[in-house]
Structure 1
C-alpha cells in the first residue's frame, strides 16, 4: 500500500500494530480457522498494549484517538495475514463501545469501558434478527419494563452475533414501545448494555436464565464464533438502559458509520494481503521457462486489483476523516465554542462517505482475493497458501453489516434523489 499522505499518528499505529501482529504468523490463523478456535492470545496481546481503547476517551483508559487511527489498526490486522477473523475478534470492542462512550451514564462508562479496554470483558452487538434482517426499525425483540420500573424483561431472537460465546457484555437494541404505538418506526427502540449471564456448562445456554446461544457453522472467519441468541423473559436491570428510552436508534447510528469505516479498513487489509501474496508467487513460480508474472494475463489483473484497492483506500480514509471531524465539531459545540467552522460537516455527508467506502473496499477486496487464488492456480485451493482462507473471508464485507444492494439503494435515494425502492 502507498502510505504517502497518512498522518504521523496513523503511521505510528500501523508500525506498532504490524510489529505485534508479526508474533501471530499465518500458521496461527490457519490452525484457529481449522479448529474454529477463538484467538484468545491475540485478543489478550492487543489488550495488553492498549489497542482496544484506541478510539475511546483517555479518562476511561483509552487512547483518545479517532476512527481514522482505528481504521488503520483494523486494516493492519487484516493485512498481517490475520484476515477478517483477526479483525472481527476485536471489531465490536472498538465500534460497539462508541454509543456507550457517547450516551452512557458516568457509572456505565466507568464500570464497563475500562474493563473492555483491559481485555477483562469482551462485548458484542445485538441488533440483527432473522425475521427483519436489514429492516432494523421493525425488529421484534421486546424489552418490557416491570411494574416497579426496576428492570426489563427481554424476549426475542438475534442472529449473526459475532463473539457472543466469549462476550461478557452485549449492546442490545430492543423495542420498548410497540411499533403500532409510535409516530414513526425509528421511535420506540432502546439501547441497552447488558450482561450475558451464562451457566458454567460449555453449552452456554440456560432455560433458567432465559438465555440461549446456538453457534452457527459458517464458511469463513471460523476462528470467531457467530451465533443465534434467544431471549425468553431474560431479566436485565433498568440501569442497563443507554441514553434515553425509545431513542436507541439514534444512539446506534453513532456507531454504524464508525463500523462502516472500520469494515472498509478490514476489507482493504485483506485485499492488500492477497495482492502481495499473489505478486510474490507470480515472481517465483516458473512455467515454460519464465516467471508467470511476466505474462500480462497474470500481471494485468493484479495491477488492476491493486489500483482498485488504492482508490477504495482514498474513499475509506476520507470517510474516516469526515467522521472524526464531525465528532470534533460536536464536542466543540457542546463546549460552547464559537468556531465558524463548527458544524460544517453534515451527518448525511458522513453517512454517504462511510457507506460508499464500505462498498468500494468490499468490492476491491473481493476482486483482489479472487485474482490471488487464480494466480496460484491449483495451489490457490490449498490451505497452506492462505489465499483460499482470505477468499472465503472477503465475502463478509460484501454482505455485512449492510448489503451492497442496500448501499446502492441508499445512494440512489439520498444522493441522486431517486424514488425510494423499499
Structure 2
C-alpha cells in the first residue's frame, strides 16, 4: 500500500497515514467536488479527499432505494458492512500492525460523513459506527497481547462490536451506572441492564463499562468503573436481548440488554480495575466527531435533494426555487452546514493532534468535539426539516427519501449526549459558570 503524507493545512491531521487497499492509486490527488453533493471540499487533505472518493464509490452500490427498503423491513445492511470490511475500511483508525490503516479520527469522520451523505444516512453510518469509535480505548489501553487477540478480527469484518454504557435508570448520569462486574476466581460475573445498544443483534463482541466497586463504596463517582472487551453471545446463560422499536434508522437494531451473572474471563479487563471511566472518555470524544460527520452527511444529502427538486418543480409557470421563500431557507441551511463542517473537522484535527502534542489539553479537545456535535446536529435538523417543507406534499412521501432523513436527524440531537448537557459543559468549562446539574 502506498503511504501518503497529507498536506498539513486546513483540516489535515498532522501525521503520516495510509489509505486502505488501493484507493491512493485509483484516485487523483486533485479530486473535484462530486456532482451529487453540495459540500465545498476546499481545505481538506489529499488523504481525506481520497477517503471520501473511495467510500463514495463503494456507497454508489447502495442507492437510496436500498436504504428505504431496509428502513421499511428493519433488515440489517450486511452487504455494506461486508463491502467496507472487504476493502479494509473497518480498521481505518486502528494500528497498521494489526491490519488497520493507521489513519486518524479526521479520516474516520470523513468516511462516516460520506456514507451518510450517500443516502445511507444514520442507518448506514451506524452499521460500522461502534466498530470505529468503541475500539479506540481498546487500541490505546489494552496490552499488546490483548490488542492482537481482540482487534484483527474486528478489522477484517469477522467480528462486530457493540458498545455497552447507557442504562435505563441512569441515562446521562454515566457515573451512577450500576451494572456490576464481580470477580469470581479467573472470571467476572456481570449482572445488570443496558439500553439503546445498537447492533447488539449482530454483534459478537461488546465493549462494556461496568462497576467493579459498588457506588456506595467509592469516594468519587468516577471511581470503581472498569472497561471490558467481552464475548457477546445471547445463546449463553445470563444474557438476553430485547429489540426496541424506534422512529428512524430502523435498519440498525437498538436493544435492551440484560445480564444475569453472565460469565466473562478476567483477561477481558482493559487497563486496570477502577479506571474504566477515564479510559472510556478516550472513545467518547472520538464518537462526538464521528456523529457530527454523520449528521453533516445527512444534512447535505437532504439539501441536495431539496435544491434539485426546487429546480425541477414548476408552479405558476416558474421553478419554485426561483421564489425566495424556498431559496433563502435552503441557502441559510447550507451556510449552517458549512459552518458546522468547519467546527467538526477542526475538532477531529485537534483530537488527532492531541495524541502527540501535549500542548493540546483534553478540555480543549472536549469543548471542540462537543461543540462540533451540537452544531452539526442542529444544522442537519434545519437542513432536513427545510428540505421536507420545500418538497411540500412530496416531502412527506417515502419515494423522495427526505422524510427518512428527517426521522433520522433526531439521533445526533439526542445521542450520545443531549444538546442541554453540551451547553452545560460549555457553560462550566469555557464560561466558568457554576455547575448547573
- The interval holding the TM-score normalised by the smaller chain is over 0.9
Query: Structure 1 residue 350 and structure 2 residue 365: aligned?
Result: yes
- SS of the equivalent of 1:52 reads coil
The offset of 1:182, in angstroms, is: 1.3
Distance in 1 separating the partners of 2:106 and 2:283: 14
Distance in 1 separating the partners of 2:176 and 2:352: 30
Number of residues of Structure 1 aligned to a counterpart in Structure 2? 399
Instruction: Determine the structure 1 residue equivalent to 2:337.
Output: 309
Instruction: Determine the structure 2 residue equivalent to 1:403.
Output: 418
Distance in 2 separating the partners of 1:196 and 1:262: 24
- SS of the equivalent of 1:33 reads helix
Partner of residue 157 from structure 1, selected from 193, 212, 217: 193
Question: What are the residue-to-residue correspondences of 1:232-311 with 2, within 5 Å?
Answer: 232-311=260-339
Partner of residue 173 from structure 1, selected from 205, 209, 221: 209
After TM superposition, what 4+ stretches of structure 1 lie above 4 angstroms from structure 2? Answer: none
TM-score normalised to structure 1 length: 0.94
- SS of the equivalent of 2:371 reads helix
The offset of 1:183, in angstroms, is: 1.6
Distance in 2 separating the partners of 1:228 and 1:104: 27
Instruction: Determine the structure 1 residue equivalent to 2:19.
Output: none
Instruction: Determine the structure 2 residue equivalent to 1:217.
Output: 245
TM-score normalised to structure 2 length: 0.91
Distance in 2 separating the partners of 1:215 and 1:136: 22
Partner of residue 371 from structure 1, selected from 357, 379, 386: 386
- SS of the equivalent of 2:354 reads helix
Query: Structure 1 residue 93 and structure 2 residue 131: aligned?
Result: yes
- Structure 2: 5+ residue stretches without partners: 1-38
Partner of residue 142 from structure 1, selected from 176, 180, 184: 180
Query: Structure 1 residue 393 and structure 2 residue 413: aligned?
Result: no
- SS of the equivalent of 1:23 reads coil
The offset of 1:211, in angstroms, is: 0.5
Does the 8 Å contact 2:354/2:360 carry over to 1?
Answer: yes
The offset of 1:8, in angstroms, is: 0.4
Q: Deviations over 1:366-413 (max 9, x none)?
A: 000000000110000111101000000000000000000000000001
Distance in 2 separating the partners of 1:141 and 1:198: 17
The offset of 1:107, in angstroms, is: 2.2
Partner of residue 347 from structure 2, selected from 297, 319, 323: 319
Distance in 2 separating the partners of 1:105 and 1:157: 28
Q: Deviations over 1:336-374 (max 9, x none)?
A: xxxxxx411111000000000000000000000000000
Q: Deviations over 1:230-263 (max 9, x none)?
A: 0001111100001111100011000000000000
Distance in 2 separating the partners of 1:28 and 1:120: 23
Instruction: Determine the structure 2 residue equivalent to 1:43.
Output: 81
The offset of 1:106, in angstroms, is: 1.8
Distance in 2 separating the partners of 1:152 and 1:246: 14
The offset of 1:198, in angstroms, is: 2.5
Query: Structure 1 residue 417 and structure 2 residue 432: aligned?
Result: yes
Distance in 1 separating the partners of 2:346 and 2:436: 28
- SS of the equivalent of 2:249 reads coil
Q: Deviations over 1:100-132 (max 9, x none)?
A: 001112222111211011110000000000000
Query: Structure 1 residue 67 and structure 2 residue 108: aligned?
Result: no
Distance in 1 separating the partners of 2:396 and 2:154: 38
Instruction: Determine the structure 2 residue equivalent to 1:226.
Output: 254
Does the 8 Å contact 2:234/2:241 carry over to 1?
Answer: no
Higher helix share: 1
Distance in 1 separating the partners of 2:248 and 2:392: 20
The offset of 1:180, in angstroms, is: 1.8
Does the 8 Å contact 2:178/2:215 carry over to 1?
Answer: no
Partner of residue 165 from structure 2, selected from 119, 123, 127: 127
Question: What are the residue-to-residue correspondences of 1:111-126 with 2, within 5 Å?
Answer: 111-126=149-164
Distance in 2 separating the partners of 1:89 and 1:80: 14
Distance in 1 separating the partners of 2:319 and 2:74: 36
Distance in 2 separating the partners of 1:2 and 1:90: 25
Distance in 1 separating the partners of 2:365 and 2:166: 23
